Amino acid sequence: MTLIKSISGIRGTIGGKTGDNLTPLDTVKFAAAYGTWLKKESGKKKLKVVVGRDARISGRMIQDLTMNTLTGLGIDVIDLGLSTTPTVEIAVPLENADGGIILTASHNPKQWNALKLLNSKGEFLDGEAGAEILKIAESEGFEFSEVDDLGEISTIEDYIDRHIEEVLKLKLVDADKVAKANLKVAVDAVNSTGGIAIPALLKKMGVEVIELYCDPNGHFPHNPEPLKEHLTDICELVKKEKADFGIVVDPDVDRLAFIDEKGEMFGEEYTLVACADYVLSKTPGNTVSNLSSSRALRDITKRHNGNYEASAVGEVNVVQLMKDNKAIIGGEGNGGIIYPESHYGRDSLVGTALFLTHLAEKGKKVSEIRNEYPAYFMSKNKIQLTPDLDVDGVLKAVEKRHSEEEISTVDGVKIDFPENWVHLRKSNTEPIIRIYTEAKSQQEADDLAQKMIREIESIIA
């Protein structure tokens, strides 16, 4: 059982001992730390925080603990109930709130839950704010409100519907064009809140929906990370129902993957590529993804005469570089679409609506659209190290060995070779180096990864 405290929030397994897992006491302590930081940061006498959750079995318990802790600090709470991460993100500025909390462990299995923290813009906190909240939590320097100053909880039950309306208002989303295309789409929402949001969006756009695991009961029927090995059921369903394609989301609906009409993976990396291709064709501009994302986005951006930049891994880093680079679309290769015209957060509803419009406009099959993009293949590996090893020293040695290549040290070491790349990152929680490679064939990507593992082993020896 595990409790992981980081600058982006607190994540852990339900049950067990306090301090080792996400117990009720740990939930209260961290919610109190966030509320205390928010009061200090805003300087306002009365604050308002939006709170929503995915459909995890522990969600109601964790949400009640969180909301009542905030009201104990004198903070008013808007309860969205069953929601999605992007829904909470758009609700914060729409409700003029001072912050937001999403109760979700994203793609982790059902025994996990987490508190994800937002600022007044509905964006994830930066490292400095996260570190301050961790410090407050450790010191337990909380001061709760007296009885006449307690906060109040109000409920808004239709925010997913409001979110859908916001998506349909986007200039590059054309529901009429999609409706005329007479599309049939299968949806796997892993029995979480995507089962509410995605079918509702599709129906609003005139799409026939085939639902698979769309009952938001929190009992995930398969590993909730939207990877090929977990998605055999929807791949079969798409073929059986002769659907135009399939949509898969993770439990909090910020990761989006597609299945083509043949029941084959479109590729999580290519979700962003396809959406960016459509957006750039209408509104030329710049793009951003992280250093571990596919080179295909760079190629598509250049094709549209835009500028591509790569950030350190982590949504907050992608968002900051998007702002700095004035990017019109960006995200992460795990199927996370960030479209600033809507908001600065990964949003599967926005990604779905953009892709549907792209598909309807192209008048092609999903597999045909995929074949229009550069073909790259990734390999993801790791090498175990001893705890006493100087990992930074190892990465420095790798950097020195390849000093003649194009190198980035923004986040670990990324080496861009002419035909492929390798990205080495050390873990913050265990003694390993993660090794990501990409090349023009799977064999080449795997071979490059093994070559880098041997090189690291020779440095350590």
CATH of domain 377-460: 3.30.310.50
Q: E-assigned strands of 376-420? A: 377-384, 406-408, 413-416
Q: Per residue in 107-127, pLDDT tens?
A: 899 999 999 999 999 999 998
Burial class (CB in 10 A: 0-12, 13-18, 19+), 455: middle
Phi, psi values for residue 124, rounded to 5°: -65, 145
Top CATH class of 163-371 equals alpha beta
Given the residues 8, 106, 192, 379, select the one marked as catalytic.
Answer: 106
Q: What is the pLDDT of residues 161-185, one digit of tens each?
A: 999 999 999 999 999 999 999 999 9
Equal CATH topology for 3-157 and 163-371: yes
Domain boundaries, the chain: 3-157, 163-371, 377-460
**Which residues are 22's β-sheet partners?**
14
Q: Alpha-carbon torsion 372, 202, 318, 10, what sign?
A: negative
CATH class of residue range 3-157: alpha beta
Instruction: Give phi and psi for 136, each to the nearest 5.
Output: -65, -40
Length of the chain: 461
CA distance 421 to 90: 36
Question: Phi/psi of residue 435, each to 5°?
Answer: -125, 110
pLDDT along the chain (461 residues), means of 10: 72 92 96 97 93 98 98 98 98 98 94 96 94 92 95 98 98 98 98 98 98 98 91 97 98 97 95 98 97 95 97 94 97 94 98 98 97 94 86 92 94 94 85 92 95 93 77
DSSP string, 43-84: --SS-EEEEEE-S-TTHHHHHHHHHHHHHHTT-EEEEEEE--
Asked about 408 being catalytic, the answer comes back as: no
Q: What is the pLDDT of residue 146?
A: 97
Q: What is the pLDDT of residues 400-423, one digit of tens each?
A: 999 999 999 999 999 999 999 999
Q: Report strand pairing: 327-332 vs 336-338.
A: antiparallel
Place of tokens 């982590």: 314
